[in-house]
Amino acid sequence: MSHSSPAVRRVADWDFDQLSSLAAEHGTPLYVVDLDRVAENYERFASAFPDAHVMYAAKAHTGRAVLETLLDAGADIECAARGELQRAIQAGADPDTLQYTAVNPPDADLDYAAELGADHPGLTVTGGARDTFDRLEARGYDGRVAIRVNPGIGTGHHEKVATGKDAKFGIPYDEVAELAEDLRERFDLVGLHAHVGSGVLHDDLEDHCRAIAKVADLAREVDDADLEFVDFGGGFGVPYREDEEPLDMDVVGEKVREAVGDLAAQIKLEPGRYVVADSEVILTGVNTVKETPEATVVGVDASLATLIRPAMFDSYHPIANVSAPDRAVEPVAVGGPCCTSADVFCTDRPVARPEREDLLAIGNAGAYGYELANQFHSQPRPAEVAVEGGEPRVVRRRETMDDVTRVEREAEE
């Protein structure tokens, strides 16, 4: 594994011949994840923070093949829900190494965490509300806990991911010191945690580091020598647009260490998007090309059920014509088969002119791609193929209509 691997993988860097073969064999829409790239991204990030404990934020992509790859690479796993804890364990994670960040946790999630902690005292539960700690105590849990801090500073690519200033997330900054004293009487308080946003690139780095410095100051106030760790979350972005530059992780590492300053507790970091975003593409077939006075509309078989980020976050995802990359480029709108104007991947986007039966690739689909896939319009979710060492294998089969309707049929039995 080389620390010098390219800092970003563009959609044009994929092997178009292999992608065409995979689409022909497995159909479209199809997710294709490069597990070697997942490991390379993790290694590059970890190399930039040699003294930190680097965990992978599972919510970005909980596919078993991805989790197994990262566990093999030496990553621990941070989970934000009961299902993620279960999936990490099924992938081979030691429950004593897991960190569970509870956000308004349902009773069933806390029940599971309390039971898991009883058998695995290394589990750490991070709470962002006083109620969460009270509910844990009511379940007999007295193990390792961390406080999620709301630093009042949010960063990232969209207001919906700027968690550091969202009241939903974390204990208000000025209340943490008092809460820490209370929790030390009831649990094993081992850390502080903060996550201020997602998709942070160079323009957001100053604010990101300002939030990190603020949390580090708070750690010293509550006696960092008595804490095992201070977790500064993730949020480090990748360039989705072709003209955006990737983060220089060596520079980022220096800036983060400068922001943290002297700290007795260990630094923890939780990259998610950075590790998986550019490791995956979606392959989709063109079924319709319609000329209108306003635009050339290209219809594809992928939809917002396949990739919801453009509809949810107005996210940019690069698109390439795999079938004819050298064809003349012209501006097009690309949309799916859902009956809503939100089902559009791009408008007025220069793409090598698509024709019916062409294959397109939608890039940077690894982070929150399959995680947010759904069955809108009763569309079965796509298959996913993993490539490792150049060899492909199916890691998620394509859903069928039987899968879509199974829960209803079983309810009637």
Q: Residue 392 above 90 pLDDT? A: yes
DSSP one-letter string for 93-125: --GGG-EEEESS--HHHHHHHHHHHHH-TT-EE
pLDDT recorded at residue 158:
39
Phi, psi for residue 21 in degrees, rounded to 5: -65, -40
d(CA 237, CA 4) in angstroms, rounded, equals 18
- pLDDT mean over 69-86: 98
Most confident of 206-220, 234-248, 269-283: 269-283
Answer whether 94's CB lies under 8 Å from 88's CB. Answer: no
Q: Which strand (E) or helix (H) includes residue 29?
A: none
pLDDT band at 107 (very low <50, low <70, confident <90, very high): very high
State how far the alpha carbon of 260 is from the alpha carbons of 76, 149, 184, 265, in Å: 22, 15, 24, 11
- pLDDT mean over 181-189: 97
Terminal-residue alpha carbon distance, the chain: 52
Q: Is 235 annotated as a binding residue?
A: yes
pLDDT recorded at residue 277:
98
Q: Residue 336 above 50 pLDDT? A: yes
pLDDT recorded at residue 166:
61
Q: What is the pLDDT of residues 340-368, one digit of tens each?
A: 999 999 999 999 999 999 999 999 999 99
Q: Is 357 annotated as a binding residue?
A: no
Q: Is 368 annotated as a binding residue?
A: yes
- pLDDT mean over 97-122: 97
Phi, psi for residue 332 in degrees, rounded to 5: -140, 160
- pLDDT mean over 290-315: 96
d(CA 124, CA 113) in angstroms, rounded, equals 9
Q: Is 164 annotated as a binding residue?
A: no
Provide the mean pLDDT of the chain. Answer: 93
Q: Is 272 annotated as a binding residue?
A: yes
For residue 180, what is the DSSP state? H
pLDDT recorded at residue 276:
98
Q: Is 154 annotated as a binding residue?
A: no
Q: Which amino acids are annotated catalytic?
A: 339
Answer whether 284's CB lies under 8 Å from 356's CB. Answer: no
Q: Where are the alpha helices (DSSP H) in 187-239?
A: 202-221
E strands of 28-79, at which residues?
A: 30-34, 53-57, 76-79
d(CA 257, CA 222) in angstroms, rounded, equals 20
Rg of the chain's alpha carbons, rounded to an integer?
Answer: 22
pTM above 0.85, yes or no: yes
Q: What is the pLDDT of residues 136-167, one digit of tens each?
A: 999 999 999 999 999 887 444 434 444 444 67
- pLDDT mean over 280-293: 97
Q: What is the pLDDT of residues 201-239, one digit of tens each?
A: 888 888 889 889 999 999 999 988 899 999 999 989 999
- Secondary structure class of 181 (helix, strand, coil): helix
pLDDT recorded at residue 225:
85
pLDDT recorded at residue 410:
94
d(CA 274, CA 276) in angstroms, rounded, equals 6
DSSP one-letter string for 338-387: SSSTT-EEEEEEEEE---TT-EEEE-S-SSSSGGG---GGGPPPPEEEEE
Token output for 19: 């992608």
Q: What is the pLDDT of residues 3-26, one digit of tens each?
A: 457 889 999 999 999 999 999 999
Structural domains in the chain, CATH included, are: 35-274 (3.20.20.10), 278-409 (2.40.37.10)
The fraction of the chain above a pLDDT of 70, given in percent, is 96
- pLDDT mean over 102-106: 94
DSSP one-letter string for 260-291: H-S-SSEEEE--SHHHHGGGEEEEEEEEEEEE
Q: Is 270 annotated as a binding residue?
A: yes
